[in-house]
Amino acid sequence: MVGNALRKARRDFMFRYGRRLRQMEHWLVARLAMVLLSLLRLLPPDNALNFADRAARRVGPLVGRHRVAVNNLRLAYPQKSDAEIEAIARDMWGNMARLAAEYIFLDALFDFDPDAAKPGRVEVRGIEHFVEIAGEKKPHILFTGHLGNFELLPVAAATFGMNITALFRPPNNPYLADYIHSTRRSSMGALLPSSTGASFALAAILEKGGNIGVLVDQKFSGGVETTFFGRLCQTNPMLGMLARHYDCDVYPARCVRLPGNRFRLEIEDKLDLPRTEDGSVDVDATTQLLTDVVERWVREDPGQWMWFHKRWEISGRRRKRRQAKQASLDAQ
């Protein structure tokens, strides 16, 4: 009994020590990020963003996540050379650095004026959809992926009077998560962290005729089986389930990064959602449709997507069966 008590005490100590060590690591990383962003704030926006891009292209390949990105790119583009894969990965790091730096310049960067004769940094396609959604007294779902500066989409929505609540996955680093909250403009709408109960909160918004925005391009353990770049992955079926329950319109939206620190924000035509025999929304087929839309976007601008995310990592009890299914897909 004494031995068991000692082992338990040792486990408790190691757990507390590990938690404090992770907390200190998060704090140090966040402080370093804050210092770097504060230094960038001293520069004009264009100079700061270009510097962040150049630095990330050099530093990014040195971190562990670079290997994940390169491996993912090889799975998605088996026909591309190592040099082409490396170039896309470096573009990705430049895009991610720009995204981080743009948080401190959002007010200066977003200059869209619907009445301007000549576009500024931000141009918008699908203005009629923004206006239509804002004016309709019914719920809507907009979805996007981690492409370009996706944070500009809710700013554009607010410009047209559209109220929207965005579901997001906060960073694992709590200090960085707090920073993101503090730097978001008040006109960017509400943020809802993806956690237990988030689907009920989104349902409540739709129930009241509100609009929600969802990122649909991340792995979701235990989710619906879909294919992305011809490979099996798991995707959150929540959007399809909400669309089925509320029978609301679903719109694809994205941000495309343009040369010269400019952006194009797009809302495409609403999707014609697949239906079951009884006329209700087919959740599995809808989830695959959303994944197909994101794949199309990524193929158009591969360097603007977050390749270091473990999108194709399969988890759950049926891993072996899914691996066998993937082998069958590869053989086709």
CB 73, CB 88: distance < 8 Å = yes
Question: Residue 144 in 3-state DSSP?
Answer: strand
Torsion on CA atoms 44, 45, 46, 50, rounded to nearest 10: 100
pTM, to two decimals: 0.84
CB 154, CB 110: distance < 8 Å = no
Task: Dump pLDDT digits (tens) for 185-212.
Answer: 555 667 666 766 788 889 999 999 999 9
Task: Dump pLDDT digits (tens) for 23-53.
Answer: 787 778 777 877 887 888 889 999 999 999 9
pLDDT at position 116: 80
CB 134, CB 70: distance < 8 Å = no
Q: C-alpha 158: how far from its chain's center?
A: 20
Residues 6+ apart with CB under 8 A from 194: 167, 168, 169, 170
Once rounded to an integer, what is the mean pLDDT over residues 154-165?
Answer: 88
- Mean residue pLDDT of the chain comes to 86
pLDDT at 322 over 60: no
For CATH 3.40.1130, the residue range(s) in the chain are 117-331
CB 137, CB 161: distance < 8 Å = no
Task: Dump pLDDT digits (tens) for 120-133.
Answer: 899 999 999 999 99
Transcribe 223-288 into DSSP letters.
-EEEEETTEEEEE--HHHHHHHHH--EEEEEEEEEETTTEEEEEEPPPP---B-TTSSB-HHHHHH
Residue 31 burial (C-beta neighbours within 10 Å; 0-12, 13-18, 19+)? exposed
* The CATH fold of domain 117-331: Glycerol-3-phosphate (1)-acyltransferase (3.40.1130)
